[in-house]
Amino acid sequence: MKEKHNLHKIRDIEERRLLSFVLDQEEQYRKTGRSTSSGFLNERELSFLEGYLNHLDIDYSVMRLSPACERSIIYFGEYEDFISVYYIRNRLLKHSDVLGSFFATGYTNSMLGDVFIQPDGVYFTNLTKYNPFLESSLVKIGKYPVVLERRDALPEIEKHFEEMQFILTSLRLDLVVAHLTHQSRSQVSQFLRENNVYVNFKRVERPILRLKEGDILSVQRVGKFRVKETVPLAKKGKVSICLEQYK
């Protein structure tokens, strides 16, 4: 495929693999006439792919089940039942518990869509082709047995956040992660190298990266956060940081 000749120009290995996969899906659609799709995409991945596909003048569509969803798919051809909605009737589960249990089964980020903790339980989106694997693998979250209920659509979603505020000497990533994980800075350096931390949906290993207001920070086994506010404390030479944790 002619478009793939330029893949070597993309320096980021993950972006190159993602684009290669999506171009394969488009080529498969052209050859067979059967609709195909990407996996779930975060906002950064979607923006990257849209820019490239538009440049190549390739026809595609984007599906996001709800305005509350942060993850979407790109598909080629007519929309089919690419995305499923599931419900778990448990009001005690936390966002981090749900994600941890999914990834423990072998799930990857591209297989699982959005997870919403609501007053009546947990709703999440899943790639339909993985439904059989999901239903046979996810039988327990933490100490709670799981009964998965398929739903036709997502309800109106209420987003919930829990604010936390603390003071650090700077907005360096390693300092913030050390505070959230209760680890030393040397332990955090190893934690970063093991691909446990994402900033704005991109894996980050550099401990000296400085966070700013609006950044989305995801720390595996801890949670997902948005930097709501940062306030320098001139007299102390420190900074107050307010995070919103997704619940």
Report the pLDDT value the prediction gives residue 100, as an integer from 0 to 100: 86
- Residues above pLDDT 70, as percent of the chain: 97
CA 97 to CA 110: how far, in whole Å?
A: 18
Contact criterion met (CB below 8 Å) for 204 and 173? yes
Pick from 13-17, 110-114, 187-191, 206-210: least confident: 13-17
Instruction: Tell me the CATH number of domain 2-76, given options 3.40.50, 1.10.10, 3.30.1370, 3.30.360.
Output: 3.30.1370
* CATH 3.30.70.330 location in the chain: 83-151
Contact criterion met (CB below 8 Å) for 231 and 219? no
* CATH 3.30.1370 location in the chain: 2-76
* CATH 3.10.290.10 location in the chain: 161-246
Q: What is the mean pLDDT of the chain?
A: 91
Q: Is the pLDDT of residue 37 over 80?
A: yes
Segment 236-245 mean pLDDT:
90
Alpha helices in the chain (DSSP H): 13-32, 43-55, 95-104, 131-137, 173-181, 185-193
Q: Is the pLDDT of residue 144 over 90?
A: yes
Report the pLDDT value the prediction gives residue 96, as an integer from 0 to 100: 82
Amino acid at 146: V
Domain 83-151 fold: Alpha-Beta Plaits (3.30.70)
Report the pLDDT value the prediction gives residue 186, as an integer from 0 to 100: 86
Segment 205-227 mean pLDDT:
91
Report the pLDDT value the prediction gives residue 11, as an integer from 0 to 100: 77
pLDDT digits (tens, 9 = 90+) for 40-65: 999 889 999 999 999 899 999 999 99
Query: Which band of pLDDT confidence, cut at 50, 70 and 90, is reported for residue 13?
Result: confident
Q: How far is CA 132 from CA 24, 75, 127, 128, 236, in A?
A: 24, 21, 10, 8, 56
CA 199 to CA 227: how far, in whole Å?
A: 11
Contact criterion met (CB below 8 Å) for 54 and 48? no
Report the pLDDT value the prediction gives residue 2, as an integer from 0 to 100: 44
Segment 153-174 mean pLDDT:
91
For the domain made up of 161-246, the CATH class stated in words is alpha beta
